[in-house]
Amino acid sequence: MNAEFPEILAFLFDAYRYKVAHGGRGSGKSWGFARALLIQGAQTPLRIGCFREVQKSIKDSVHKLLSDQIKALHLGGFYEVLETAIRGKNGTEFLFAGLADHTVDSIKSYEGIDRCWVEEGQTVSKRSWDILIPTIRKGGSEIWVSMNPELETDETYQRFVANPPPNSHVVQVNYHDNPWFNDELEAERLHCQRTAPKDYENIWLGKCKPAVSGAIYYDEMAAAEEQGRICNVPYDPLLKVHVVFDLGWNDAMAISLVQRGPADIRVIEYIEDSHKTLDYYSAELKKRNLNWGKLYLPHDGRNRDFKTGKSAQEIMQAFGWEVSITPNMSIEDGIRLARMTFPRVYIDKIKGDRLVQCLKRYRRSINQQTQEPGGPMHDEWSHGADDFRYIAVNAESMTNETWGGGAALNYQPVGIV
């Protein structure tokens, strides 16, 4: 078979357990993966699974891409393209599925897979990888991943690019690596570079974004990363540690531990959990044996629970906390205040990682008819963003005075590195 193939993807024909190509638009990653699998399937009988995180119909899969490459490689006499599968005359078979729909038991039907291609790998969850990878265990089996990265902290990026497993071959592939990059794509690239410079490096160069597209705090998180304010933020024992709550039970309980320096606000730790009572959180916090300041509850912290007859404020005061109630402010006013507060904020990159992820992924809902943005989405990321908003609202009232409310502490702040 005489088939053209980009040199940078030649490793697809070598033996590796994991083969990963990440990069931007127009690089030919998917084109090359499809072509390599069709060639290998024509040479040797293979069972090839083509997966993505969500596949509502066969149209969401790489079925069409493979069909087009069969024509381009003049393999129409060898491969039979069916509605939901592709079969070769030697027994090679291409299967298509969405990973999010599978459980540990249902994925077992793919145990005999020789090649596993995961397209749009940046969207695949930890749960899906934890289910899929142990299933692809046939001797000599391989897992192929193609993706345009979104966030550096995404599961797939961390698993295969930042910390690649043994026997991996990982390459970054961009438009300049594609010898068949045409004039139409070049015009698109230049137009994006002129009109959407903020998105250009991610779309065309495959660089990770500072936050998801449309994130409410996109610019603020970009600046925080660029200025090194997501970093190691040590606990300063001479500063009070203020505790900021966003209350939740079925939803997540979000808690930030905050210290206020002379000119900065330091989030030294972020805690998120659910279905735990306030006595649990109080005990967990006190185990840290820190120099505690005030504990801030949202405005509904005054509301009495119909089961206990007590409010969150009364419960936490009974546990010995000095409790303040966050002023009731509209979400939009709080977001504006959070934006103004951001330049002073430092977040610990390890103990505050979940908060960083929430701020990077906090978005507005989009009206499906008008495509206009609405209020912030209430999802798994909104709890941390709400808690950060409460930090901003309460920041000016956070002091380093003693519990008795008398003398201010004489302190020299520990440097942030």
Report, as an integer, the average pLDDT of 402-416: 41
Q: Percent of the chain having pLDDT more than 70?
A: 95
- pLDDT of 246-302, one tens digit each? 998 778 999 999 999 999 999 999 999 998 999 999 999 999 999 999 999 999 888
Neighbouring residues of 11: CB distance < 8 A, sequence distance ≥ 6: 19, 169, 171
Q: What is the pLDDT of residue 306?
A: 64
Q: Indicate the pLDDT class of residue 403, thresholds 50, 70 and 90.
A: very low
Query: Does domain 221-397 bear CATH number 3.40.50.1980?
Result: no
Give the tokens for residue 190. 């230049």
Higher per-residue pLDDT: 134 or 405: 134
Q: What is the pLDDT of residue 4?
A: 79
Q: What is the pLDDT of residue 74?
A: 93
Q: Indicate the pLDDT class of residue 236, thresholds 50, 70 and 90.
A: very high
- Angle 62-64-68 from CA coordinates, rounded to 5°: 115
Q: What is the pLDDT of residue 405?
A: 38
Q: What is the pLDDT of residue 80?
A: 96
- Name the architecture of domain 7-205: 3-Layer(aba) Sandwich (3.40)
H or E segment at 296?
A: strand 292-297
Q: What is the pLDDT of residue 402?
A: 61
Q: Indicate the pLDDT class of residue 78, thresholds 50, 70 and 90.
A: very high
Report, as an integer, the average pLDDT of 212-233: 93
Whether residue 12 is predicted with pLDDT greater than 50 in this model: the reply is: yes
Q: What is the pLDDT of residue 1?
A: 64
- pLDDT of 152-172, one tens digit each? 888 999 999 999 999 999 999
Whether residue 408 is predicted with pLDDT greater than 90 in this model: the reply is: no
Report, as an integer, the average pLDDT of 179-201: 93
* Residue indicated by tokens 């699998």: 37
Whether residue 49 is predicted with pLDDT greater than 80 in this model: the reply is: yes
Whether residue 110 is predicted with pLDDT greater than 90 in this model: the reply is: no
What is the pLDDT of the chain when averaged over all its residues?
91
Give the tokens for residue 365. 């809902």
Report, as an integer, the average pLDDT of 378-407: 83
Domains of the chain, by residue range, sit at: 7-205, 221-397
Q: What is the pLDDT of residue 373?
A: 77
Identity of the amino acid at 255: I
Q: What is the pLDDT of residue 414?
A: 44
Whether residue 149 is predicted with pLDDT greater than 60 in this model: the reply is: yes
Neighbours of 75 (CB within 10 A): 17
Contact 329, 277 (CB under 8 A): no
> Distance from CA of residue 243 to its chain's centroid?
26
Identity of the amino acid at 217: Y
Q: What secondary structure letter does DSSP report for 19?
A: E
Beta bridge partners of 260: 265
Report, as an integer, the average pLDDT of 387-416: 68
- pLDDT of 305-332, one tens digit each? 766 778 999 999 999 999 999 999 999 9
